[in-house]
Each structure stands twice: as C-alpha cells, then as structure tokens.
Amino acid sequence: MPIAYRRLVKADADLLAEFITSEPWPFHSGTATDPGKIRRKVRRGHYNNRQIRTFWMVVDGAEVGLIRMELIDEMPRIDLRIRATHRGHGLGTEAQRWLTDYLFAELPELHRLEGPTRHDNHAMRRAFVACGYTQEAHFREAWPAPDGTLHDTVVYTILRREWTAARRAEPA
C-alpha cells in the first residue's frame, strides 16, 4: 500500500479532531476526547511549531494515520497512530521506517533513536524489530493505563551507525 506523507496544517483542525475522537486509541494514556480542545491545540501550534512536526499518512487519498514528532536533539518523542481499519497491513512498519529516516536526516547530531512502547503492544514491537531496532530495556510497571493498571514498558533503539549500515545494504 503506497503511503504519501503530508504535513499537517492549521486548516486540518477539524480533520484532526475527528481523527482523534472518532475511535479509541489503545496503548495511549489520556488521549484527548474534546474536539474543541484539539482544534485549539492545532491553532496554538501544538502539532506544528519550531520543534514539533506532524504528518498525515495518506493512502488512496484518505488520511489513515498520524505521526507527531518532537524534534529534540538528544531524544525525539514520537506519537504514531493508524486508524483501526488500516492496522495490520504493514503501514505501521512503513511509517516507522519513514520517520526513522526523517529524524536521522533532520537531526544531524542525533546519535540514537529510542522508542518506548507498552510491553503488550505486539504490533509496535514487531514494527521496531522490522525497522532494525533492538530491544534495550524492560521497565516493570512503568506505563500507567487510564484505569490505573501499571503495565510494563519496553524500549527499542537504533543507533545512527546501524541505520547508515542498513541503508547502505539496501538494493539500489
């Protein structure tokens, strides 16, 4: 499934509000449920400013996924979510690969990229591995769920040199 990546703009406020509030987001603590608040956040630059960039994943002309990145040199923070209707078709893996390329290219000082996820988020864990990440940590009871349950957190990382070597090995 070919994916186009389109930068979110302020005019997308309604679309984003619909995207976030129209379905539950597993493995996200405290996802916003108030469309007005989301629209205000778009207007205030919470999704696009000097340090934050947000992209839609567009498939067949429809916005089916979202990547929000905080470009912090030492440790970028990433929020990746795909509509339930489009999960399990390889889009998450493709997006993780794309955002890894994007961050190493945009942040020349970035030495390593870390991705935490909940231990039972099997799709995300497999996507990390498919993109060349290695599991480096397992933190017990470190991920609070909205119902108060404390889940384990696992952390995957990729080093710049691993990313570079993988790119060199890609067929031309």
Ligand X SMILES: CC(C)(COP(=O)(O)OP(=O)(O)OC[C@H]1O[C@@H](n2cnc3c(N)ncnc32)[C@H](O)[C@@H]1OP(=O)(O)O)[C@@H](O)C(=O)NCCC(=O)NCCS
Q: Do 33 and 21 meet the contact criterion of CB atoms below 8 Å apart?
A: yes
In the complex, the smallest distance separating the C-beta of residue 108 from ligand X, rounded to whole angstroms, is 25
Helix (H, G, I), strand (E, B) or coil at 2: coil
Least distance from C-beta 9 to ligand X, angstroms? 22
Q: What is the DSSP string of 35-49?
A: HHHHHHHHHTTSSSS
> Which CB, 42 or 59, lies closer to ligand X?
59
Which residues of this protein are in contact with ligand X, per CB under 6 A? 25-27, 80-82, 87-93, 117, 121-124, 126-127, 130
Task: Give min distance, CB of 78 to ligand X, in A.
Answer: 8
Residue nearest to ligand X (CB): 92
CB burial of 62-87 (b: ≥16 within 10 Å; e: otherwise) equals ebbbbbbbebeeeebebebbbbeebe
Decide whether 17 or 95 has the Cβ nearer to ligand X. Answer: 95
